[in-house]
Amino acid sequence: MIIDDQQYDVIIVGTGAGGGTLACKLAPTGKKILILERGDFMPLEEQNRSDVDVFKRERYHAPEQWYDTAGEPFSPQMNYAVGGNTKIYGAALLRMRERDFERVEHQTGVSLEWCLKYADFEPYYTEAERLYKVHGTLGGDPTEPGHSREYPYEAINQEQEIEEIMVAIATQNLHPACLPLGLTRQDDDPTNDSEVSGIAPALTHSNVTLKTEARVVALHTDPSGQMVKAVETQIGNQTYLFFAYIVVLSCGAVNSAALLLQSANEQHPCGLANSSDLVGRNLMKSLLTAVVQLTNKTNSGDFPKTVYINDFYWGDTDFPYPMGHIYNTGGLLSDIIFAEAPPLLSILAKYMPDFGLKQLATRSIGWWIQTEDLPDLNNRVRIDHNKLYIDYTPNNLEAHDRLVYRWIEVLKTLEKDLGGFQRGTHLRGEVPIQVMANQCGTCRFGNDRTTSVLNPNCRTHDVDNLYVVDSSFFPSNASVSPALTVIANALRVGDHLIERLM
């Protein structure tokens, strides 16, 4: 084992939406920062690409096995690279709604109240939208929360086919809105991510060091158990110990929890920072269904996702409980990402097995239907004999099914109004457990150490210099994707850490 002789002010583990953003926030302080990333830099040609060969080779499966509740192994669709899963996400950056931060009754359970409210996050949402160059337009969505500023960039132009659909949706007393997207405005790499907006700017500062292909395997505390003393890391065939005043985990909700559990010691026998027995519990991942309409006339197959509908976010006339969020998939030739590929391509290939990707893409319009799942102690990450288990049973299913069927009814009306569609043909596919998109909740934050893992600043209640800054902190899920909230929270925690370090 190699003992690194450097003493860092901050070690950040992970470079995704949380870690990359936090690194950017802290870099100008001049404090000595070490960033540890399990993967390496991704070649540009592998980022956010839609070539069907990518999916056939399953390029974005992590090089490891996890196990489901039944003990069956699977390869998670995760990305270990500089930028984390933001290298392969869809860049839809929406704010959570104001009511998402409150206690909300669902048909089969409750979304928990957050210890902070929308007003606490609003300035950081605004900062996050500037940092990630979000393109959007306010107005149109009845659930849109208050913004202190307009989006920093105008929404991108709609393709003609999508514009026609938006107009038709609006005639049904619905409110289609422009999907806010994080873009770089660069033709060669249009999608913004935490490498572009976080790590790259951070590395312009001489006080910041990035080590890639560096897998953190354990955190070691001092004898009191109240401070992390060393970060044990494997780089190649060598094991290193790195030391810092503050340690921040940003490995994703599954891997941050797993690392805490794997770091159990005499002072923390159930896992580091786990006196509440909540580390790894309450794992949430949005309920996602793809619905594809087949068309008689061809489209370009090459257009981004740009439209969302939230009219059913808080329910419908005959269902007074939250239902969720709907948005278009974008063209299969340009805008589909790894998490979206399996259900979309599988249902299309099943229906038209002799068609190639281009034929499928140019004869279909896809929609994503997304509903929040609810916190459940039994949905969890656990370690058993050095194996990582994902115990997960979906819940809130009726709300999601109602939203799917409600949207299909809308599509049937669209088909009558617009023409060009194969009437009544709506192919449906659910996202499997292997897709860990929108994972959150495994180290929830709160004021009470018996019911939460982290305090409101995302510091662990049990260990004074240990923070978790990724989607682990969510007490509840939301029907919009968590990425922008993770980014905003990293900026918020960054302000706290700057104050602590100075």
Cβ contact 476:485 at 8 Å: no
The pLDDT score that the predictor gives to residue 90 is 82
The amino acid at residue 223 is P
CA 374 – CA 371 distance, rounded (Å): 10
The pLDDT score that the predictor gives to residue 52 is 38
Residues whose CB is less than 8 angstroms from the CB of residue 337 and which lie 6 or more positions away in sequence, other chains included: 48, 50, 88, 89, 90
Work out the number of other CB atoms within 10 angstroms of the CB of residue 213.
13
CA 497 – CA 456 distance, rounded (Å): 13
3-state secondary structure of 3: strand
Q: What CATH code is assigned to 2-50+62-501?
A: 3.50.50.60
CA distances from 119 to 101, 114, 126, 145, 452 (A): 10, 12, 11, 10, 21
Q: What is the dihedral of CA 306, 196, 59, 218, to 10 degrees?
A: -120
Question: Both tokens of residue 180?
Answer: 């806010």
The amino acid at residue 340 is E
The pLDDT score that the predictor gives to residue 345 is 57
Instruction: Show the 3-state SS of 53-100.
Output: HHHHCCCCCCCCCEECCCCCEECCECCCECCHHHHCCCCECCCCCHHH
In the chain the first and final C-alpha atoms are separated, in Å, by 32
- Torsion over CA: 430, 436, 439, 443 (sign): positive
Q: What is the pLDDT along the chain (502 residues), one digit of tens a residue?
A: 999 999 999 999 999 999 999 999 999 999 999 999 999 998 765 555 443 333 334 455 667 899 999 999 999 988 799 999 998 888 899 999 999 999 999 999 999 999 999 999 999 999 999 999 999 999 889 999 999 999 999 998 888 888 888 999 999 999 999 999 998 755 545 678 999 999 999 999 999 999 999 999 999 999 999 999 999 999 999 999 999 999 999 999 999 999 999 999 999 999 999 999 999 999 999 999 988 887 777 777 777 889 999 999 999 999 999 999 999 987 766 544 444 455 555 555 555 555 556 667 777 788 999 999 999 999 999 999 999 999 999 999 999 999 999 999 999 888 887 766 665 566 677 777 888 889 999 999 999 999 999 999 999 999 999 999 999 999 999 999 999 999 999 999 999 999 999 9
Where do the domains of the chain lie?
Answer: 2-50+62-501
3-state secondary structure of 109: coil
CA distances from 407 to 24, 343, 428 (A): 40, 18, 12
Question: Both tokens of residue 39?
Answer: 């993967």
Cβ contact 15:199 at 8 Å: yes
CA 235 – CA 140 distance, rounded (Å): 50
Query: Residue 468: beta bridge partners?
Result: 249
Query: Residue 234: beta bridge partners?
Result: 215, 239
3-state helix, strand, coil in the chain (%, to 5): 25, 25, 50
79 φ/ψ angles, rounded to the nearest 5 degrees: -125, 120
The pLDDT score that the predictor gives to residue 46 is 58
CA distances from 448 to 75, 276, 451 (A): 36, 10, 6
CA 492 – CA 149 distance, rounded (Å): 18
The pLDDT score that the predictor gives to residue 57 is 41
Cβ contact 287:396 at 8 Å: yes
CA distances from 377 to 63, 278, 374, 391, 496 (A): 28, 8, 10, 10, 30
